Structure 1
Amino acid sequence: MTRHVEPEVFLVARPQLDFDELARYLHEVGGESWLERLDRDQLTPQDLAEFAGRLCYRSFEPGLNPNVNRIRTDQDAYLRNILASSHGSVLEHISFSFVLHNVSRVLTHELVRHRPGVAISQESLRYVRLADIPFWFPDWARQDPELMKRASELLDRMEEFQTWAAQHFGLDDDGADFGLKKHRTSFMRRFAPEGVATGLVWTANVRTLRNTIEARTAEGAEEEIRLVFNRIGEIMRQEAPSLFGDYVVENGAWIPAWRKV
């Protein structure tokens, strides 16, 4: 029986800063007063963005750089200026890792087009044998009885083939060779639809996240990837409000105040 699944997003990793090492570096170059504005027990990814930006201009405090007579002391204002001035390179130091669960290979094929600043580890259907065909149906499709009947019949046949092929190849027989299992499983995956649900770890830096959220929530983007990146946008606005708070959401499209950062 066809199993409907919903795409899910899990934030599984975020940057971790070392207060003592920051302090050791600032002791060498000056600027220890900047650390006084931070909470050593609650350092955030935004602190890393600010640190990287200030290092570029040696602007941790006035006087370190003779060209800098005054500095912004409010982090939110400082990071807004980073965005407004398109100083996006400092955002590349901040990476977040997500598990995208029950997303289709339609989505993953589109996602691989975003390559800079990204790392991907995807479930391998060469090794992971399909016992069923988990599948996401958008709401409009689920409201069409005839469409659902015909689509479910197709998916049921594909599931039946997977079960039949595993038995035909003896993949669960005692002593079945793993090399044979891998070879036959690789063949069997060819009879699964592109919409079969899969999973991957997707890591991206903030600069890439900003561009991808904008591109993949745009009105013309594919509907599943729009759904997923709306959720990623919501997560990032909570994680780094100063770096993602400039977006306005209109009909599901995330529109930044500053583009091409």
Structure 2
Amino acid sequence: MNVRLISSTPNPELTIARAARLCYRSGYDEDMTIEKAQKLIREIVARGHESVLEHASFTFLIEGISRAASHQLVRHRLATYSQQSQRYINFKNPEFIVPPSIKENKTLMNYFLEQNRKSSNIYQEMIKMGIPEEDARYILPQAVASKIVLTANAREYLHILKLRLCTRAQWEIRSVAMEILKILKELAPTVFENAGPPCATGICPEGDKGCGHPWNKK
């Protein structure tokens, strides 16, 4: 799995802070320093005034993600997605994403790969027989690797990271979220300095279904 930033708002923290300052001043503060911007952002986030965070957006290319995980990702409706189409692309020799729990068992690993290869071979046979890709794809497993472009604003990324960095999140989408956070912290360190699950800064909302980490019991 590979997560790569392909586009973003230039100077995202300055953009956010200048937009926020405009609400209280007659003009746009072109001369605001990054230090003042970061101070203002912390004040804004502490007050819960997060709408200004939407002025900064980030676009990622995510490669080597299973269809099972991508279906979870696209549930975040305030983001924009473009994914490889199984209607138009012929998936020859596809890569399969193998869960760690299956990799640990050699017997299951061999069985898993064998079944996925069978599905892939039948897929190719159907195409050779004239079946359209959009119909042949029905046999492809959810383990088939895909590529997807994700665009969202800073506020939505905070929401995504809040849910997907939880230890109870599915392992693959959690890995994607961790890679996204690493990049976002470099681009907008103040905005994302406290990004993560609620238990990192307060009480876990999962209650009895939480992971059991001590900080969840505060």
* 1:45 has 2:27 as partner: no
Q: How does 1:16-95 map to 2 (within 5 A)?
A: 16=10, 44-58=11-25, 74-95=36-57
| Per-residue deviation, 1:258 | 9.0
* 1:104 has 2:98 as partner: no
Deviations 1:223-249 (A, max 9, x none): 10001001101111111001111247x
3-state DSSP of counterpart to 2:159:
helix
Query: Aligned partners of 2:19, 2:61: CA distance in 1, in Å?
Result: 27
| Per-residue deviation, 1:254 | 7.9
Deviations 1:7-29 (A, max 9, x none): 2101000113xxxxxxxxxxxxx
Report which of the two structures shows the higher radius of gyration computed on alpha carbons. Answer: 1
| Per-residue deviation, 1:164 | 1.7
Same amino acid, percent of matched pairs: 30
| Per-residue deviation, 1:140 | 3.4
| Per-residue deviation, 1:255 | 5.6
3-state DSSP of counterpart to 2:62:
strand
What residue number does 1:36 align with? none
Number of aligned residue pairs: 197
What residue number does 2:121 align with? 160
| Per-residue deviation, 1:60 | 6.9
User: Which of 148, 155, 159 in structure 2 is aligned with 1:200?
Assistant: 148
| Per-residue deviation, 1:160 | 1.4
3-state DSSP of counterpart to 2:191:
helix
What residue number does 2:215 align with? none
Contact 1:246 1:258 in 2 (8 A): no
- TM-score, L = length of structure 1: 0.70
Query: Aligned partners of 1:95, 1:80: CA distance in 2, in Å?
Result: 18
| Per-residue deviation, 1:186 | 0.5
Is there any run of 5+ residues in structure 2 with no aligned partner, and where?
Answer: 29-34, 204-218
RMSD over aligned CA atoms reads 2.2
Alpha carbons of 1:79 and 1:256: their partners in 2 closer, same or farther (altered >3 Å)? Answer: farther
3-state DSSP of counterpart to 1:152:
helix
Partner AA of 2:14 in structure 1: D
What residue number does 1:136 align with? 97
* 1:211 has 2:159 as partner: yes
